[in-house]
Structure 1
Amino acid sequence: METNYIFKILLHAIFGALLYYIGFFPKLFFFGVIGYFLFKIIVSHPKEKTTSVLLGCAYLTGAEVIFRMTGGGLFYESSKYFIIFYIIFGMFYTGVSNKGYPYFIFLICLVPSVIVASTTIGIDGDLRKNVAFVLSGPVCLGISALYCYDKKINMRQILGILHYLSLPIVTLTTYLFLYTPTIKGIVTGTDSNFAASGGFGPNQVSTVLGLGMFVFCVNYFLNSKTKLLRAVNIVLFALVSFRAIITFSRGGVLTAILMIFAFLAIVYSKSNRRQKNIILTSFASFLLISSLIWFVSSNQTDGLIEKRYTNQDKIGREKADFSAGRVDLFVGELNGFIDEPFLGVGASGMKERRLVSLGRVVATHNELSRLLSEHGILGVIILLILIFKPFDMRTANRYNYFFYAFLIFWFATINHSAMRIAAPGFIYALALLNIRYEKRPLRRKRLVTKR
């Protein structure tokens, strides 16, 4: 296990170098990934079919940003569509739980917004492109949730899914270090930094790296059976955290911190006294490493990262808007809901309105307000399903260590980055899995009868 784990990590670091240095490799990598997991799903044993589907989806979730960054995908939303494809493919083999019907209702509630959009999007607008862009994320969430609801897997399998999620994040981190090996000189202010994010959107990069921070923390506490594995996981956590912090996009990092604390709180509460002492000792070491990462980040950015997290500009003046304009967008979309409370303004309708009023395209950062403005009263129903249905699942399965961490990731991410990437939808669905813990077999002594 130790050798296999380290081999996969090194292999994905090599993939990062190949993506950076070889121009045709991104396309080769993308089609190789799609083909490999499709083959794996087809040939896997029926009992392993669900795990194979989720492994493929997890890998694509972690790889989505690096595919976009390097132009490897068929098109911008490729990863979301292939996740949906894998899951629908998996449904033919393993079906879905009849208890997950609210997520079918959720998908039906998305349809009227397409009809409204067909009458409201301007003649110069591309209906298919605009609608697909804003609905691919919610559809990916709905399909994933419908498939995952009450699917029974064990602890080993969920850790494997998280491992596959983290592998392409190693590739992304390697690529970022090659793209900007030194940080000093490229950071001149406290705004989100594209150069430190591989020339791509810092918000998306930070979100995925934050997810990597969480996974390597989980590996450190639950999946490191040797000192070498513990060392490897803490180093990976440090490298991923450093690259996440210096994107200057706060959302992904703060979300990761909330996830880690939620996860550790659950693990600690379900542990015995001896295990709690081990967790506290490991957590102290973890905090020490985290402090060192922050110190290095501050040093490399000449203290600007501290100003960023305290909402100051580069000369120390407090910024007027901590949300970087997101509050104004949120209020504007609530006004859209008030104007059209029944069926909303239609898919991508608020973007069209902002194009008319501002003269430029401004995409939303908040999925909650977008659901209300673009779907009206159906958006309220969607939100009620998304928020309350997982807790119904929780009453029947209280042993999922990751339940609250996954929901936190979904809720926090859709509030600062909407559903631009597949991660919030797929991670939300993982919270609906029914995780079972394998019982140790009882060893009974055979009775020998004397004759």
Structure 2
Amino acid sequence: MKKEELSYVYLILFHAFLGVLVYVFPFISKIYTLTLFVFGVFYIVKNRNKNNEALIISAYVVSVEVLLRMTDGMILNEFGKYSIMIFMFLGMVYSGFLKNAIMYWLFLILLVPSIVISTLSLNFDTDIRKAIAFNISGPVCLGFCSIYCYQRKVSFDRLKAIIAAFSLPLIATSVYLFLFSPSVKDVVTGTQSNFATSGGFGPNQVSTILGLGVFVFFVQLLLNSKSRLLQIVNASFVLVFAFRGIVTFSRGGVMTAIGMIFILLVVLYLQASFTIKPKIGLIVIVSFLAGLGVWGYSSIQTSGMINKRYANEDALGRKKKSQLSGREVLIESELQMFLDNPILGVGVGKNKEIRRQQTGIDLASHNEITRMLAEHGSLGLIDLLILFCTPLFLFVNNRQNILALSFLAFWLLTINHAAMRLAAPAFVYALSLLKVYTVETSTVHRK
């Protein structure tokens, strides 16, 4: 085994131990948070961001965010987004950004009018700062990350290093989840999203990060496992994360992982040489069979409840009225706000107040697309078009970023069920804008 591979194994073991440590001594989570931020700044400044250290440390923060939240380790509620914005800013200080990123400067500028509106329209008893920060920190973080990543040249090896940085904190998260609920059978009693199997934290967000974990370790297995040991390790983690994601009973993260993997395999197949296509076909078959195996095991562990969950049934097998766990009402109300305020929207954070007044439902948006339309109006629609179309245009001109469409899919699918509560969709989206070069032909043979 090479030195790099051995280092990876040691890092896996360290993060597994870290998961145990945080579970036994929860206060360590806050120390972990502070240490991570200080180290991140030092890491970028010391290396002057010569090798895009800002991307490495940001990927790490993205993956550790849920663990820090579920262990009450966050110094600030939006620590993940704020720290990543600082890392991106430092990265740009040392290595600049392309002037062509003007589209993302425009994206940020178009957010401003609705922020101004919200300062004038939010109720007096509302904490204006928190209301605005809660809703706008995600898009602003996305803007910062996109400006940094737009057409930034990175080698394929560096892209794989970013994927490896994603993977490590996820191991600590999975260990924590197993310690929190070692027996899934004992805590599953119905078909609703399960907090016990999600570390006591929001199943929607836990499912999101576990789904990302499935994809990350699938990529590690496919593109970054040169020894038999690493293949076994990474394959095992794919199965572990798939199982833990399924038993959260939150469907969004699992479906997103499946979508990302499917898109990656399609891209690889279309760009592979004729002799490699059968191997990719074999990967598809093995992946499908492994998926069936994990599903079967999950069904046994949940006494069949997971089958009912995905069939949209309750514990007694009765069909539920809502297909989206009640989110239809939120979506409908936000679309109506857009129709009523099509130019500038109702203002950042205002849609929750209006919904509470009109329907009595006191819930924040779960869908970033309809939130953008409701709160930003036509300017939000322009922003959404910028976000969706730009990565597609760049991919057509740079197909060496074989993960770009999967990254875009993660952002699009995640914001439809979990908005931008986490930093993950903002940062992962930005990775679809990277200009990747010198792909290793020994790993993927393409024309």
Q: TM-score range by the shorter chain?
A: over 0.9
Name the Cα RMSD after superposition. Answer: 1.3
Residue 393 of structure 1: how far off its partner (Å): 1.6
Q: Is 1:28 aligned to 2:31, yes or no?
A: yes
Residue of structure 1 equivalent to 2:173: 172
For the pair shown, which has the larger CA radius of gyration, 1 or 2?
1
C-alpha deviation, 1:46, in angstroms: 5.1
Q: Secondary structure at the match of 2:154?
A: strand
Q: Which runs of structure 2 are paired with 1:298-377 in the superposition (5 Å)?
A: 298-359=299-360, 361-377=362-378
Aligned equivalents of 2:396 and 2:258: distance in 1?
26
Residues 60, 168 of structure 2: 8 Å contact kept: yes
2:380 is the alignment partner of 1:379: yes
Cα distance between partner residues in 1 of 2:50 and 2:84 = 20
- Asked if the contact 2:115–2:348 (Cα under 8 Å) also holds between the matched residues in 1, the reply is yes
Write the mapping of 1:174-213 to structure 2, written as runs, cut at 5 A.
174-213=175-214
* CA contact 1:221–1:282 (8 Å) conserved in 2: no
- Structure 2 Cα separation of the partners of residues 45 and 33 of structure 1: 18
TM-score by length of 2: 0.95
Alpha-carbon distance in structure 1 between the residues aligned to 2:120 and 2:50: 47
Deviation per residue, 1:225-249 (Å, 9 max, x gap): 1111110001111111111000000
What is the DSSP-based 3-state SS (H/G/I as helix, E as strand, rest coil) of the residue aligned with 2:50? helix
Question: Once the 2 structures are TM-superposed, how far is the Cα of residue 161 of structure 1 from its aligned partner?
Answer: 0.4
* 8 Å CA contact retained: 1:259, 1:406: yes
Q: How many residues align?
A: 438
TM-score, L = length of structure 1:
0.95
Q: 1:350 to 1:241 in 2, by over 3 A?
A: same
The 1-side partners of 2:302 and 2:373 are apart by: 39
Moved more, 417-426 or 348-357: 348-357
Q: Is the 8 A contact 2:49 2:91 kept in 1?
A: no
* 1:56-135 equivalences in 2 (<5 Å): 56-135=57-136
2:222 matched to which residue of 1? Answer: 221
Q: For residues 415-438 of structure 1, what are the alpha-carbon distances to aligned partners after superposition, in whole Å with 9 as ceiling and x for unaligned?
A: 111111111111110000000015
- Cα–Cα, structure 1 residues 413 and 46, in superposed 2: closer, same or farther, change >3 Å? closer
Q: How much has 1:358 moved relative to structure 2? A: 4.1
Q: Report the counterpart of residue 447 of structure 1 in structure 2.
A: none
Q: Quick one: distance in 2 between partners of 1:372 and 1:360?
A: 19
Contact 1:137 1:422 in 2 (8 A): yes
Distance 1:408 1:286 in 2: 19
TM superposition shift of 1:389? 1.6
Query: Which residue does 1:237 correspond to in 2?
Result: 238
1:399 pairs with 2:400: yes
Q: Which runs of 5+ in 2 are unaligned?
A: 442-447
CA distance in 1: counterparts of 2:64 and 2:230, whole angstroms: 23
Q: Which residue in 2 is equivalent to 1:19? A: 22
The equivalent residue for 1:279 is 280
Whether contact under 8 Å (2:174, 2:241) holds in the other structure is yes
- Shift in Å at residue 439 of structure 1? 7.5
> Which has the higher mean CA deviation after the structures are superposed, 24-33 or 126-135?
24-33
Contact persistence 2:411–2:428 (CA under 8 A):
yes
Q: Unaligned 5+ residue runs, structure 1?
A: 441-451
Q: Between 276-285 and 33-42, report the one with greater CA deviation.
A: 276-285
Q: Pairwise mapping of residues 408-423 of structure 1 onto structure 2 (< 5 A)?
A: 408-423=409-424
Query: Is the CA contact (8 Å cut-off) linking 2:256 and 2:413 kept in structure 1?
Result: yes
The verdict on how the C-alpha distance between 1:282 and 1:439 changes in structure 2, with shifts beyond 3 A counting, is closer
User: SS of the counterpart of 1:435?
Assistant: strand
- Say if 1:144 and 1:426, in contact at 8 Å, map to a contact too: yes
Query: Does the residue aligned with 1:376 lie in a helix, a strand or coil?
Result: helix
Contact 1:96 1:146 in 2 (8 A): yes
1:247-278 superposed Cα distances (whole Å, 9 cap, x missing partner): 00000000000000100111122222332233
Would you say the 8 A contact 1:221–1:279 is kept in 2?
Answer: no
3-state SS of paired residue (1:273): coil
